[in-house]
Amino acid sequence: MSETTEQTYRVVLVDDHAIFRSGLRADLAADLQIVGEAGSVEQAIEVIERKRPDVVLLDVHLPGGRGGGGAEVLASCAHLFSQTKFLALSVSDSAQDVVLVIRSGARGYVTKSVSGQEISDAVRRVAGGDAVFSPRLAGFVLDAFGSSVASGQIDEQLDLLTDRELQVMRLIARGYSYKEVAKELFISIKTVESHVSNVLRKLQLSNRHELTRWAVERKIL
C-alpha cells in the first residue's frame, strides 16, 4: 500500500506587528511551513531573497525603505514572481491599497478580519496559481483593470523610450543599482546614468524613487 504525502508550502510572514505574526503563525494550517518573518521593507526583501518561499503573506503598510510599503517589496522582488507568489494581507480595504499592490504583482488580497483557516486556504490557492480576494475587494480590481484609457496612456508613455531605455528603466525600478544594471546589460555605469537621465526627462519624473512608483502603479516591471 503506497503512502500519500500532503503538499506543504513554504511561507514568509511580513508584518510590522510581532504579536500579529505570532498569532497568525499559530493559526495557520500545519501544511504551511513558516520559513521566515520580517517587520520592515528592508527585512522583507532580505528574507524573501534568501528563503525564496512559495508564498509571501505581505502586509500593505510597512515601515522602512523609501516609504512604498508592500508595493516597494513587490517591486524589489519582481524577478522572483515565477517561483514566489505574494498574497497581500491588511486591515485596509481601500480601493487604492488593493489596486496598487495587485498592479505591483500580488496574486491576491485578503483582510485581517478573515479566519486562520480562510487565510490558509488563500495561501494554498495562490500557491497553485489562483487569484484570491476577500469578496468585496474583487470589484475594485475588476474596475481598475477594466479601464482601457489607462493602458492606452501607458503605451504612449512607453513609446517615448528606446528599447535600451526601457530595459534600464525596468531594472532601476526593480531596485538594481547603477553598477548592477551596467553588469546585467554589459554597458558602462556612465551609459546607465545617461539612460536614466533620459528616462526621467521623457517621463517627467524627478528621481529613481518616483520612477519605481511610476512603474509599480502601471505594473510594467
- Whether 4 shows a pLDDT value over 60: the answer reads no
Asked if 45 contacts 67 with a C-beta cutoff of 8 angstroms, the reply is no
Evaluate if residue 195 carries a pLDDT over 70. Answer: yes
Which 3-state string (H, E, C) describes 100-117? HHHHHCCCEEEECCCCHH
More confident residue, 2 or 141: 141
The pTM of the full predicted model, rounded to 2 decimals, is 0.64
Q: Which of 61, 17, 55 is nearest to 39 (CA)?
A: 17
* Spatial distance between the Cα atoms of 119 and 132, rounded to a whole number of angstroms: 10
Q: Report residue 148's pLDDT band, with 50, 70 and 90 as the boundaries.
A: very low
Q: Which of 29-43, 146-160, 202-216 has the lowest mean pLDDT?
A: 146-160
User: Terminal CA-to-CA distance of the chain, rounded, Å?
Assistant: 48
Segment 19-40, tens digit of pLDDT = 999 999 999 999 999 999 999 9
Residue 50 pLDDT greater than 50, yes or no: yes
Q: What is the pLDDT of residue 136?
A: 67
Residue 151 has pLDDT above 90, yes or no: no
> What's the confidence (pLDDT) of residue 38?
97
Helix H or strand E segment including 11: strand 9-14
Tens digit of each residue's pLDDT (9 = 90 or more) over 71-97: 999 999 998 998 999 999 988 877 778
